[in-house]
Structure 1
Amino acid sequence: MKKLAVVGAWLIASLTAPTVHSQDVRPMDNDAQDIVVAQHLIDRHFEIWNERDKAMRVDKFPTVYTPDIFVSDYAEIASGYANVNRLIERVQTEHAGFAFTPDPVSWNHGLGRVTWGYGPKDNPNLVRGEDIFSIHDGKLASLRVFLNKN
């Protein structure tokens, strides 16, 4: 019954909410500087994820990530430096000898996308995927990881 009441309230709110139209036109923010910053941060991001030395990796976090960095992958969601570092350690442990090889960044109105390969040196694209990311105050603020199904 409670679920039905929640659905009913949502339906009423949906039907009575004002209609939003795309009349609010904003200029694109896809200038070359945004792309350069995004590419630099993503390059540093993958350096961190490929770094096997925990101390060296953790030292780089504040230069690349916001303190409340948010990363979601196929298995979990991690927020903050300590939890993201544990996520990296899990990925590295599960795939010993693998490294990320990123492609160039795509940037669209404040959101970025980077496709990448992950695998051993003799098969660097064994796993393919992409990260959708955001930047806040000049640092990576969120990454959502998608794996391509082969």
Structure 2
Amino acid sequence: MSDFDSVVERYLAVWNETDAAARRKRIDDLFAEDVRYVDPLAAVTGRDALDGLVGAVQQQFPGFTFSPGGAVDAHHDQARFTWNLGAVPGEPLVVGFDVAELDEDGHIKQVLGFLDKVPAA
């Protein structure tokens, strides 16, 4: 497992952690204090805001799990990866593609997210 494979595994674990205190610890361990997260539906800065966003997504999709959607492609201090959200096993309800950038300490400082598959309104 590469360092970036581990980072992505930990990243998805944050999105799957439903215990608020445990999730916050995971966020504090993995993300820079001033992390920036942007996708088509959200734009937040800082660990507190990211924690709130993850909690809101969990409320919107209760019981669903984030899982890797393929291999991690990484170089220098950035990685791109696909993820799935849905009931496991089963066809994912949402498919996304993120690019994560690390700071000099190995914390995620920025995530740029894209949604490739979303449920019909």
- TM-score w.r.t. the length of structure 1 is 0.71
Alpha-carbon distance in structure 2 between the residues aligned to 1:107 and 1:67? 22
1:88-103 map, 5 Å: 88-102=54-68, 103=70
Pick 1 or 2: higher relative contact order, CA cutoff 8 A, min separation 6.
2
1:104 and 2:68 matched: no
Q: What value does the CA root-mean-square deviation take over the aligned residues?
A: 1.7
Deviation at 1:76, TM superposition (A): 1.5
In the alignment, residue 74 of structure 2 is paired with which amino acid?
A: W
1:3 matched residue in structure 2:
none
Contact 2:93 2:117 in 1 (8 A): no
User: 1:36-115 maps to which residues of 2 (within 5 A)?
Assistant: 36-102=2-68, 103-115=70-82
Higher strand share: 2
SS at match of 1:130: strand
SS of residue paired to 2:2: helix
State percent identity of aligned pairs: 28
Report the residue type matching 2:66 in the other structure. Answer: F
Larger radius of gyration: 1
- Whichever structure has more helix as a proportion of its residues is 1
Q: How far did 1:50 drift?
A: 0.3
**Cα deviation per residue 1:37-90 (whole Å; 9 max; x = unaligned)?**
222111111111100001100012222111111111222211111100111011
**Which consecutive residues of structure 2, in runs of 5 or more, have no partner in the other structure?**
none
1:123 Cα offset (Å): 2.1
Q: Which structure 1 residue ranges, 4+ long, deviate > 6 Å from structure 2?
A: none
Deviations 1:94-134 (A, max 9, x none): 11111111132101343210101111124252211110110
Q: Between Structure 1 and Structure 2, how many residues are aligned?
A: 116
CA distance in 1, matches of 2:46, 2:64: 24
User: TM (normalized to structure 2)?
Assistant: 0.87
Give the SS at the match of 1:125: coil
User: Any unmatched runs of 5+ in structure 1?
Assistant: 1-34
